[in-house]
């Protein structure tokens, strides 16, 4: 029974991801909040040089406006961060539950799980109102999960 407890954080994090991807964009829109607390002129001056393409859209202060520009990075940072935590706790649960698992096997299965969960999250968003599934977000999710797995392995990984 104790081994099951290692999977509780993974289940909770996966549930949180599912809950957030169930919400229409309007429920997650932080632009009105940001507009109240950021100095738009400062954002324009400071980040005027930042310009790149993401999923076929131009990301820049000029193209999006200050609030949407900041929100873009908050949303993508959230993708990275939540999947970092998912990867960290998935490798932890894998290695502590299956004690005979070689670290490389735990690494591979944990990373595959993170990728597949990222794909399923984007597919879920396809069926949610006003949400757009993006392969680019799966890549951010995967990198976040990979970094979480690597950090766990560096801190706590067992050598066999």
For residue 30, the model assigns a pLDDT of 87
pLDDT digits (tens, 9 = 90+) for 70-129: 999 999 999 999 999 999 999 999 999 986 678 899 999 999 999 999 999 999 998 887
- Its pTM stands at 0.91
The domains of the chain are located at 2-28+71-156
How far apart CA 128 and CA 120 sit, in angstroms, is 13
Q: What is the pLDDT of residue 131?
A: 85
In this predicted structure, the answer to whether residue 31 has a pLDDT above a threshold of 50 is yes
Q: So what's the pLDDT on residue 160?
A: 47
Determine the Cα–Cα distance for residues 140 and 137; give it in Å rounded to an integer. 5
Relative orientation angle of helices 66-97 and 135-156, to the nearest 10 degrees? 50
Whole-number Cα distances in Å, 22 to 7, 81, 86, 129:
22, 18, 18, 8
pLDDT at 157 exceeding the cut of 90: no
How many other C-beta atoms can be found within 10 angstroms of the C-beta atom of residue 51?
12
Say if CB 20 and CB 117 are below 8 A apart: no
State yes or no: pLDDT of 57 exceeds 70. Answer: yes
**pLDDT > 60? residue 141:** yes
pLDDT recorded at residue 2: 80
């Amino acid at each position: 029974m104790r081994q099951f407890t290692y999977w509780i954080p993974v289940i909770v994090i996966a549930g949180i991801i599912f809950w957030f991807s169930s919400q229409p964009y309007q429920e997650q829109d932080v632009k009105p909040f940001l507009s109240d607390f950021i100095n738009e002129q400062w954002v324009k001056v400071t980040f005027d040089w930042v310009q790149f393409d993401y999923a076929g859209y131009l990301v820049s202060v000029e193209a999006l406006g200050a609030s949407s520009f900041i929100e873009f990075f908050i949303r993508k940072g959230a993708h990275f961060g939540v999947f970092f935590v998912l990867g960290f706790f998935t490798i932890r649960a894998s290695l502590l539950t299956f004690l005979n698992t070689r670290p490389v096997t735990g690494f591979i299965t944990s990373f595959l799980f993170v990728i597949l969960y990222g794909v399923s999250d984007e597919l879920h968003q396809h069926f949610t109102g006003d949400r757009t599934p993006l392969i680019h977000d799966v890549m951010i999710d995967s990198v976040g999960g990979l970094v979480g797995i690597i950090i766990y392995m560096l801190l706590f990984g067992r050598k066999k």
